């Protein structure tokens, strides 16, 4: 089952506050023959906004942004909407998000004029639990099964439905060991994947949010730094890393970006 909704509101104008004094390099890029490594060398020296502008100019159209509507999600939505108002924003809804997350989605959708597309598993959350039990409590193998059903497959459907050729995502190197080696640009089987804020710190994002009066997820102030499903998200306690707040510390990734950065679709 899947659904898509669109809302109209105010759209922000282009601003370089996260990306203050750098300009877009207008170069000819042949997506087939140009070296991804060379592109990444250039993109590393651009600011987040400039990376977005470059990508919209030089990479294939049919763009989309994926969002978990987590702690800092307003940054990417605002950033993309400045230069690509109306870009499809895809949420994969497991049916197990916190109530505060659903409320935050509604609020941000209205505030930032989000063209929201919601995708879900073919089998409802309640039916999955009746059929398989609480997969998230059964160890790593069943957690991966849960993530495949509720995250990976719905996102694959979204990419096909939207005919997406360029996929923007808000991954950052500081979030986990597994993300430290990610580049700004990645080419997978049928999409380019762009990480405009890959090198941004929590402080960088905080300053951007202050400048543009953007809200944090309401659970941020209660100690939640990485916010997913209610059953497998924990507060950040003393001695913990951000990675340990998800899936009982067994794994950081839900699978959504592992398939995107691995074998493609």
Distance CA 89, CA 205 (A): 19
Residue 74 domain flag: yes
Which residues, in sequence order, are CB contacts of 26 under 8 Å at separation 6+?
57
- Give the CATH number, domain containing residue 30: 3.40.50.620
Q: Cα–Cα distance between 242 and 101 in angstroms, integer? A: 19
Q: State yes or no: pLDDT of 1 exceeds 60.
A: no
Residue 105 lies in a domain: yes
168-172, 228-232, 236-240, 257-261: segment of lowest average pLDDT: 257-261
**Which residue segment(s) compose the domain that 95 sits in?**
2-121+149-260
Distance between CA atoms of 118 and 161, rounded to whole angstroms?
12
Average pLDDT, the chain: 84
Q: For 6-34, how does the pLDDT look when each residue is reduced to its tens digit (9 = 90+)?
A: 444 443 333 333 543 344 444 444 444 46
Let me know if residue 182 belongs to a domain.
yes
Give 118's strand partners.
3, 91
pLDDT attached to residue 47: 97
CB 148 within 8 A of CB 121: no
> Rounded to an integer, what distance in angstroms lies between the CA atom of residue 207 and that of residue 20?
12
User: Residue 132 domain-assigned?
Assistant: no
Binned at pLDDT 50, 70 and 90, residue 250 comes out as low
Q: Which of 52, 87, 254, 256 is catalytic?
A: 254
The answer to the question of residue 20 being in a domain is: yes
Q: What is the pLDDT of residue 178?
A: 73
Q: What is the pLDDT of residues 99-112, one digit of tens each?
A: 999 999 999 999 99
56 lies in a domain? yes
User: Across residues 227-245, what is the average pLDDT?
Assistant: 84
Q: What is the largest CA-CA distance in the chain?
A: 55
In this predicted structure, what is the pLDDT of residue 236? 82
Q: How far apart are CA 89 and CA 5, in angstroms?
A: 10
pLDDT in tens, 83-97: 999 999 999 999 999
CB 183 within 8 A of CB 35: no
Tokens 């600011």, residue located:
47
Report yes or no: 119 and 90 within 8 Å, Cβ to Cβ. yes
Q: Is the dihedral of CA 53, 170, 89, 191 positive or negative?
A: positive
What domain count does the chain have?
Answer: 1
Query: Residue 141: inside a domain, yes or no?
Result: no
Active site (annotated) includes residue 254: yes
Distance CA 193, CA 182 (A): 11
138 domain-assigned: no
């Amino acid at each position: 089952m899947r659904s898509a909704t669109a809302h109209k509101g105010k759209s922000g104008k282009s601003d370089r506050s996260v990306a203050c004094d750098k300009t877009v390099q207008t170069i000819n890029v042949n997506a087939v023959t140009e070296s991804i490594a060379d592109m990444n060398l250039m993109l590393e020296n651009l600011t987040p906004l400039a990376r977005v502008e470059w990508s919209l100019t030089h990479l294939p159209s049919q763009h989309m942004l994926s969002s978990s509507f987590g702690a800092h999600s307003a940054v990417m939505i605002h950033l993309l909407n400045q230069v690509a108002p109306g870009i499809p924003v895809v949420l994969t809804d497991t049916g197990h998000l916190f109530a505060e997350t659903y409320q935050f989605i509604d609020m941000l959708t209205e505030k930032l004029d989000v063209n929201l597309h919601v995708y879900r598993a073919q089998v409802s959350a309640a039916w999955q639990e009746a059929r398989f039990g609480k997969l998230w409590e059964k160890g790593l193998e069943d957690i991966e099964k849960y993530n495949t059903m509720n995250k990976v497959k719905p996102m694959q459907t979204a990419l096909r439905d939207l005919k997406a050729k360029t996929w923007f995502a808000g991954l950052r190197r500081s979030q986990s060991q597994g993300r430290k080696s990610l580049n700004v640009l990645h080419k997978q089987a049928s999409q380019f994947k762009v990480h405009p804020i890959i090198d941004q710190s929590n402080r960088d994002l905080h300053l951007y949010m202050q400048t543009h009066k953007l809200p944090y997820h309401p659970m941020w102030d209660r100690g939640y730094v990485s916010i997913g499903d209610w059953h497998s998200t924990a507060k950040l306690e003393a001695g913990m890393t951000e990675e340990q707040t998800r899936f009982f510390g067994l794994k950081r990734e839900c699978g959504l970006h592992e398939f995107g950065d691995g074998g493609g679709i």
